Chains A and B, each alone.
Chain A
Amino acid sequence: MGVQPSGKKDHSYIENLEKKGIIFTFNVFDSIDQTGTNTMAEGGEVEWELCKENIQPLKKGRDISALREALSHQQEGSSSHINQHKQAFESELRVYEGDDPLDVWDRYVKWTEQTYPQGGKESNLSVLLERAVVRFTEDKKYHNDKRYIDIWVKFAQNGPEPLDIYRYMRAQGIGLQQASFYIAWSEEYENQGNFRAADNVFQEGFKREAEPHERLLQFHKALQARVARQVMANMLEEEEEEEETTAAKPERASLVDLKPRGKKKAVAPINRVGAALSSNQHSLQFQGSQASASSGQNSRLVIFDEQKAASAETSEPKLETWKAPPPSKSKENEQRPEKWSSVKMPMKSRFGHTVLAPPSKPNFQPFVEELDQPPAMTPCKINPAVNSVLSARKPCRSETPLKRLQLHHHPLQTEGAQEQSMYCKELLLSGAAEFCFEELRAERYRQKMAVKLDSSAKEEQAGCGLSN
């Protein structure tokens, strides 16, 4: 991949970057360290170094000059430049008369992300995302526009329950032809440990022929690889926990029958010897243990076995490197079998990457049922206590972004029938911040003047040309 990780970063960070398909923020950082030819001032370097932990990463990476500028503004306390820029966006939103209004919102969102590296309430990003999303929900022409989908994804990730948002999108027909929709949705399932659902999301993406196809394929393959690794790690971990010396190798065949002990119902055959951990041996082992293992765990292994077999063909070299370290040999020689169910030690892979134990119950839900759920028109099971959306307005406790979305497009009938505001509410409130009448009018005036200046400048130029 060409990335030279500096020693200070831990490898889970790299893993993350890999997953997200970006590496170049890292590269930029390296270029500051390594090349002496960069034009960045010493001061800029220091700021970035000092603040980097507080800076939220962006999937696209951060523009380093925008980042430095944003940080230096924050340090100096001079935000007037930023204010002006923000006001300009707010104005543009309201007076735009072209046929691609999404463009203004898209640029505003991106600018906000770059300008407020630490995120936080001041950026108003949550409000902005929500408004952008709501603004075009009914606008079919944007339903598969990549920019719009990207905003939706950011909005979902910004909120307490991304999965609810993705389901809502699907119900509204938003993003169905966009690869990035399925990628983001699948990633969320994966983050929650639901590999089955994550995979199914990709399957649906393929079915709907989401574009770009290669990207969808690439991310799906990456998912499968991660799943396979996870499976391997799980197996290794279980082997470490189990104290009974059951054999895989011929010399221990006599102890194949295992009795489930302790809390763990599932039992996997123990293979203590490093060499035996190649994929071929494993598949043999699993087939051998079917009789003794509990059905739940067993069925899980069988299913994943198919996937693993498929991926094993393509990524053989990778799997081979995942041999467990030999120390387990010494353990079994020294200790008697004991109950270890109360102790769980996360196994560290060769790269120091911590692998978490899977939950003991099957970690996939029957995804088919979820898909059959009716479109989320009625309030979903949203945890009302969790509302991490930072908003300038104070929402009531039970409000979540998804609920507000639903209310916006399916407003309650009873309220508002008695009163009617006699001013252009939509215009004043259509951006992320409010405007007053005078600001609206001033923006019109400014635009008019700009046009005038422009045309008179052109006249002058033309005049000058002629007089020569």
Chain B
Amino acid sequence: MSLFGTSTGFGAGGFGTATTDTHNPMKDVEVTSPPDDSISCLAFSPPAMPGNFLIGGSWANDVRCWEVQDNGQTVPKAQQMHTGPVLDVCWSEDGSKVFTASCDKTAKMWDLNSNQAIQIAQHDAPIRTVHWIKAPNYNCIMTGSWDKTLKFWDTRSPSPMMSLQLPERCYCADVVYPMAVVASAERGLIVYQLENQPSEFRRIDSPLKHQHRCIAIFKDKQNKPAGFALGSIEGRVAIHYINPPNPAKDNFTFKCHRSNGTNTATPQDIYAVNAISFHPVHGTLATVGSDGRFSFWDKDARTKLKTSEQLDQPITACSFNNNGNIFAYASSYDWSKGHEYYNPQKKNYIFLRNATEELKPRNKK
């Protein structure tokens, strides 16, 4: 089902701007009223909610909500503020609440019906990740912070249900019940099992040589979490299974977000992988990078499906909607070159792309 028809809408580039403008070379749909500063995270509403709602957190301390309509129109719906930049967002599984994590060391629960947000978590340092856990016998929020702890919160209580020590600052995390995985500074990697109550399952030696930057859990054919994809700061993603029949063969890494693919005369530019998302239906994955490109991959066929044109800014976040028809990606500065390359005047964008066709696996097995 095609969501947007042909791209005669916003992103056509026919607004009288210079033809060399590469802010939207893929001619995707631009989300209206994007945040005023870099977008750090994107999340689509869960299946339990009718329609598509997109949440985006930014370095302007705000979290915005848009409704994405079937014809491609995006309507800003609501906004909440933190007292520091927002680093991560997630939805509750029923779609009634949005959780936001910020540099202000707090996490908030935003009730969309009442449009009220209350603080539900506190750390000693900025909170980098927030995830909702729905278990048969409990529900909670998991927050990972630069204070080297992973805490679990019942939203009704000010103190955490549980606090686990991390080897280093939390850099990224993902949850697909009953599995959670956290990647930390100094290439730490820990898997947790969430049945009954969260506990550390295994510490894994990093398959990557460089700083961990993003992580996403994938599922097997039975829809159970089977492993994760881990992206690093130097153009590489590792696919790692938790209990593979043949680890040496089944686990692998691949290069991505690099320039000069075939040209060996000049040094190859290597960019950071900023985010990874798995398609909810096909199991293929998308990666977005500092180079301003997104790529789609089939991890089972071990092939690349597509790479986009280069945007004029890094792509900092991405997300698939609940049925995999829409791929959202954000174009903004990721601070990969420090503050000197930051231009506060530069506009930030969120683009929406039809994801039904391009992410179909290469070989239907």
Q: Residues on A close to B: CB < 8 A?
A: 80, 83-84, 87, 392, 417-424, 427-428, 433-434, 436-442, 444-446
Contacts and interface: CB of A to CB of B under 8 A. Distances in A.
Contacts of A439: 146, 169
Interface stretch (B14-22, B336-344, B354-362): B336-344
29 contacts: A80-B147, A83-B125, A83-B147, A83-B148, A87-B146, A418-B267, A419-B267, A420-B267, A420-B268, A420-B269, A420-B270, A422-B290, A422-B291, A422-B336, A423-B290, A423-B336, A423-B337, A424-B337, A427-B338, A434-B185, A434-B186, A434-B211, A438-B87, A438-B126, A439-B146, A441-B59, A442-B84, A442-B85, A442-B126
Contact of B271 (A84, A422, A434, A444): A422
A438 B146 CA distance: 11
Given A419-B268, A434-B186, 8 more contacts: A84-B125, A421-B233, A422-B269, A433-B185, A434-B211, A436-B233, A438-B40, A440-B339
B234 interface: yes
B188 to A, nearest CB: 11
Contacts of B211: 428, 434, 436
A422 B335 contact: no
Interface of B: 40, 59, 84-85, 87, 103, 124-126, 128, 146-149, 169, 171, 185-186, 211, 213, 233-234, 264, 267-272, 290-291, 334-339
Give the interface SS of chain B, mostly helix, strand, loop or mixed: loop
B270 A438 contact: no
Given A423-B290, A428-B211, A433-B185, A445 B270 contact: no
Contacts of A437: 272, 334-336
Contacts, number: 87
Contact of A83 (B124, B291, B337): B124
B338 A424 contact: yes
Nearest to B168: A433
Nearest to B272: A423
Contacts of A419: 267-268, 270
A421 B146 contact: no
A421 B234 contact: yes
A445 B58 CA distance: 13
A421 B290 CA distance: 11
B290 A87 contact: no
Given A422-B291, A437-B336, A445 B84 contact: yes
Contacts of B337: 422-424
Give the interface SS of chain A, mostly helix, strand, loop or mixed: helix
B270 to A, nearest CB: 5
Nearest to B148: A83
Contacts of B103: 442, 445-446
Contacts of A80: 124, 147-149
A414 to B, nearest CB: 13
A445 B125 contact: no
Contact of A418 (B125, B264, B291, B338): B264
A84 B213 CA distance: 22
Contacts of A418: 264, 267-268
A444 B340 CA distance: 11
A436 B124 contact: no
A424 B336 contact: yes
Contact of B124 (A84, A427, A428): A84
B254 to A, nearest CB: 16
Contact of A438 (B149, B264, B290, B335): B335
Given A433-B186, A434-B185, A437-B336, A423 B147 contact: no
Contacts of A441: 59, 85, 335, 339
Nearest to B340: A424
A84 B147 contact: yes
B169 to A, nearest CB: 8
Contacts of A444: 339
Contacts of B269: 420, 422
7 tightest CB-CB pairs across the interface, nearest first? A437-B335, A423-B336, A441-B335, A424-B338, A420-B267, A80-B124, A422-B269
A34 to B, nearest CB: 39
Nearest to B334: A437
A421 B125 contact: no
B270 A421 contact: yes
Contacts of B339: 440-441, 444
Contacts of B59: 441, 445
A434 B146 CA distance: 12
A87 B125 contact: yes
